[in-house]
Structure 1
């Protein structure tokens, strides 16, 4: 078993990097969906949701960068083409949505996908003794669980 430059098993970090690239793909599509919601929202909730969507896509953009940098830290290359994002992402493109409830429903569903992937990554990272990825995934999950609760409350669930 070889170790990489930060002392982690190279075979395990390769699997982690692949899973992080999968997560990155989902984040990138989700990010673009939320940008579209921000640009196209209409209706009585416009002012509230326009600002909420901007807060969300700003946060998603930070996480995109953190995930890509984690892949690099593990000694691998982050995915960086939209064709690969579209191919890998379980979060699907969402076009021309102007209805607030439809946008919020998509956001809740997208978070469910991300949280599931992050829980899987948490287990992989724990097995690889990769505390950096464990900390990142733990932070994301705890933040997003609260966000999902609030967005579901908005939807009346």
Structure 2
């Protein structure tokens, strides 16, 4: 394909749009997960309060960074990131969490969220590889590697 038919970063415009749509879907799921995690942090109680309160804060801070990175990747691809909570709630596969005070329940919900995110990111990885989008590919690979380790750690916590 000639360079004239490519976008500013050298990718096919229609394929970039498809990828941006997938990233917007991921953004919606990340945003819902972020808000759920803030709720876990705020509302956790019980004998594991101190350790879980800190872990949930670490998690939502990481999610905050990833939300920004995903939105910026959408912009880099030449498209617009969604930003309305109504869009997030309409597009997210992750449900809003009710007030969760129980640490085990919060961690179970976190593990289900990671399962959803990992599947979405693996799909994005396939699409980004097909169009030689190394930027998105590297981003998703990094997220997958980090989150697989978190799944292991949160799962180990539940096994006590």
Tell me if both proteins adopt one fold, taking TM over 0.5 as the criterion: yes
Query: Gapped runs of 5+ residues in structure 2?
Result: none
Look up the match of 1:37: 40
Could you report, residue by residue, the CA deviation over 1:71-99 in whole angstroms, capped at 9, with x for unpaired residues?
Answer: 00000000000000000000110021100
Three-state SS of the structure 1 residue aligned to 2:150 is helix
Please tell me whether residue 145 in structure 1 is matched to residue 134 in structure 2.
no
CA distance in 1, matches of 2:100, 2:29: 19
Cα-Cα RMSD? 0.9
Could you report, residue by residue, the CA deviation over 1:91-133 in whole angstroms, capped at 9, with x for unpaired residues?
Answer: 1100211000000000000000000000000000000110000
User: What is the 5 A alignment of 1:3-82?
Assistant: 3-82=6-85
CA distance in 2, matches of 1:128, 1:43: 49
CA distance in 2, matches of 1:90, 1:155: 24
Could you report, residue by residue, the CA deviation over 1:17-47 in whole angstroms, capped at 9, with x for unpaired residues?
Answer: 0000000000000000000000000000000
Q: Which portions of structure 1, spanning 4 or more consecutive aligned residues, are displaced by more than 4 angstroms?
A: none
